[in-house]
Structure 1
Amino acid sequence: MSWSGIWPVAPTPFNPDGSVDYEGMKRVIDCMVDQGSDGICILANFSEQFLISDEERRKLTEISLTHMAGRLPVIVTISHFATEIAVDRARHAKAWGAEIVMMMPPYHGALMKAAPDQTFEQFARVGEVGLPIMVQDAPLSGVDLPVPLLVRMARDIEMVKLFKVECPQAAAKLRALIDEGGAAIEAPFDGEEAITLLADLEAGATGTMTSATIPDQIRPVLDAHAQGDRDAMIAAYERVALAINHENRQCGFRSAKVAMREGGVIASDFCRHPVLPLHPDTRDLLLRLIRPLDPVVLRWGK
């Protein structure tokens, strides 16, 4: 299997009363397929996984994988501080047809963080389930994942094959990871809405995990890089850079839901408390920046 290209994160739609819009989730999946994604990720941080109950998580997994019906590979995020819960989530994802699971190292709040050996053991236990694992190296966890630990995991845990690096100075870490890990680093990805994509691709990233806002407009950056055309890559990135910057620095996970509501994909861009809706001016600027790009999301449901 080829683990490369653009694998955006699916937002979780809510009804205006705060309940999960499961029918809307199916439309999100369909839209993301039509955006030309190479795969998608569900239940990630940009899916508001920290605002979803365990039962909702299980139902979203089942509905998403059933509705996808093999059209694209799906990564299911299973992060949890408790190893047994992470293992159970991995088994559930595998039973419903997930291709990959993604997980951060064990953490809870600001102070409960796993030591390196505990992190290694949790990933090894999840690896026994038999699905490829994407290691998410994200600042949100607050857990340091030094390159030697990541290389050890890649070499000694058969299922640790993919790496999503979205820490500060991601390109430098990707370069070191690839240099030290060699063939064991099968799929080095970046994240952060592609705000560091140019440097990360040149450092050796084979894929990116963006939001679901404009992945079809970011894809030309990856295509030009794959063709070895650096000037075209930079030009393609310049076209989307302002939108990416505004999403990353001002909007976060709310951006995809705003765009999907605007384009008729979902009926509501509601976010659960304590998340606040975007300020009207911030929302307006987001739409003003992406409309000239003519992304699939703004015309999908119209």
Structure 2
Amino acid sequence: MARYTGIWPVAPTPFHEDGTLDLPGMRRVLDLMIDQGVDGICILANFSEQFLISDAEREALTRLCLDHVAGRVPVIVTISHFATPIVVERAKLAKDLGAAMVMMMPPYHGALLKGTAQQSFEQFEAVGRVGIPIMVQDAPLAGVDLPVPLLVRMAREIEMVKLFKIEVPQAAAKLRALIAEGGDAIEGPFDGEEAITLLADLQAGATGSMTSAMISDQIKPVLTHWYAGRKPEAEAAYNRILPAVNFENRQCGFRSAKAAMMAGGVIKSDFSRHPIQPLHPDTRAALLDILRPLDPLVLNWGK
């Protein structure tokens, strides 16, 4: 299994104003991301609003995305679910359709149903038997503790578990410990959370980042400079984009990418299904004011 590097953003899921899926818009989102120079694309993740999408829509989107990307870049399919048989079936479908890997959180459902360490291990082990590479998503949303020794055990004992997206508080410290304890078994230590901690995470040894799809073309130079040993240039590139990353992370969340894509003519609507509330007009305007000086592709691609 190759070592994974680069920027692998999450594709947002566009809806029409009536709440139905915008399938032509989904194709345009994927084309934009490829034109941004991404190294891979993740679909059906939290920033894809997976919690607002039906099972039938999940399958339709998986098929559409893998067919449309057609191998231009690798595609990660998010398969998280509390029930292990459902996760396994989602992994089988992703593999059959040509996904490069799957991403999954440990089993959880709401605030009180949380997998134990052993149950989490067993779920990842079951998916591992499907035979597709797995990225472990270690995120606060699950509320499940994944201590470093458990992650290292997964990496060493489950053949397909080699990639880790770490987006917990003090992610750099956890990445550093994971890499130190796991050694060569940790083939793809990634960060996430919109790149809000990217520089610290690269310093800790992260090899890649899973951001939103808002300004992937502006974030990628940080990684490119860092890989080439140009640390001052990486720091300058990161400082340039940090206000936008911060605003996205703290003010908008997953709604930011679609707001930018609508402003740039990529999609027709930034609608999110109820109970998600739309961005306040002032918040949307402030986001776009921060983005325009960066001249990101997202604001020009569809015009």
TM range (shorter): over 0.9
Partner of 2:90: 89
Partner of 1:10: 11
Query: What are the within-5 Å matches in structure 2 for residues 53-132 of structure 1?
Result: 53-132=54-133
- Mean Cα deviation higher: 140-149 or 257-266: 257-266
Alpha-carbon separation, structure 2, partners of 1:285 and 1:188? 33
Alpha-carbon deviation of 1:3? 1.1
The code of the aligned residue for 1:90 comes to A
The code of the aligned residue for 1:123 comes to F
The code of the aligned residue for 2:296 comes to P
Alpha-carbon separation, structure 1, partners of 2:3 and 2:98? 17
Alpha-carbon deviation of 1:227? 1.4
Alpha-carbon deviation of 1:23? 1.2
The answer to whether the aligner puts 1:283 opposite 2:284 as a matched pair is: yes
Q: Per the alignment, in what secondary structure is the counterpart of residue 26 of structure 2?
A: helix
Q: Deviations over 1:56-94 (max 9, x none)?
A: 000000000000000000000000000000000000111
Number of residues of Structure 1 aligned to a counterpart in Structure 2: 302
The code of the aligned residue for 2:260 comes to A
Q: Per the alignment, in what secondary structure is the counterpart of residue 135 of structure 1?
A: strand
Q: Deviations over 1:8-47 (max 9, x none)?
A: 0000000000001111111111000000000010000000
Alpha-carbon separation, structure 1, partners of 2:218 and 2:295? 8
Alpha-carbon separation, structure 2, partners of 1:223 and 1:99? 22
Partner of 1:176: 177
Q: Per the alignment, in what secondary structure is the counterpart of residue 10 of structure 2?
A: coil
The code of the aligned residue for 2:62 comes to T
Alpha-carbon deviation of 1:2? 4.2
The code of the aligned residue for 1:27 comes to R
Long gaps (5+) in structure 1: none
Query: Which portions of structure 1, spanning 4 or more consecutive aligned residues, are displaced by more than 3 angstroms?
Result: none
Percent identical across equivalent pairs?
72
Long gaps (5+) in structure 2: none
Alpha-carbon separation, structure 2, partners of 1:92 and 1:288? 41
Partner of 2:228: 227
Alpha-carbon separation, structure 1, partners of 2:118 and 2:239? 42
Alpha-carbon deviation of 1:285? 0.8
Alpha-carbon deviation of 1:175? 0.1
Q: Per the alignment, in what secondary structure is the counterpart of residue 168 of structure 1?
A: coil
Alpha-carbon separation, structure 1, partners of 2:229 and 2:68? 36
Partner of 2:139: 138
Q: Per the alignment, in what secondary structure is the counterpart of residue 163 of structure 1?
A: strand
Alpha-carbon separation, structure 2, partners of 1:219 and 1:159? 27
Alpha-carbon separation, structure 2, partners of 1:46 and 1:224? 26
Q: TM-score, normalised by structure 1?
A: 0.99
Whether contact under 8 Å (2:171, 2:201) holds in the other structure is yes
Alpha-carbon separation, structure 1, partners of 2:257 and 2:162? 28
The code of the aligned residue for 1:19 comes to T
The answer to whether the aligner puts 1:202 opposite 2:233 as a matched pair is: no
Partner of 1:35: 36
Q: Per the alignment, in what secondary structure is the counterpart of residue 41 of structure 1?
A: strand
The answer to whether the aligner puts 1:251 opposite 2:283 as a matched pair is: no
Alpha-carbon separation, structure 1, partners of 2:87 and 2:76? 14
Question: Aligned-residue CA RMSD in angstroms?
Answer: 0.6
The code of the aligned residue for 2:222 comes to V
Alpha-carbon separation, structure 2, partners of 1:252 and 1:116? 29
Whether contact under 8 Å (2:3, 2:187) holds in the other structure is no
Q: Per the alignment, in what secondary structure is the counterpart of residue 72 of structure 2?
A: coil
Alpha-carbon separation, structure 1, partners of 2:95 and 2:293? 40
The code of the aligned residue for 1:274 comes to P
Q: Per the alignment, in what secondary structure is the counterpart of residue 200 of structure 1?
A: helix
Q: Per the alignment, in what secondary structure is the counterpart of residue 167 of structure 1?
A: coil
Whether contact under 8 Å (2:105, 2:142) holds in the other structure is yes
The code of the aligned residue for 1:189 comes to F
Alpha-carbon separation, structure 2, partners of 1:61 and 1:290? 30
Alpha-carbon separation, structure 1, partners of 2:65 and 2:95? 13
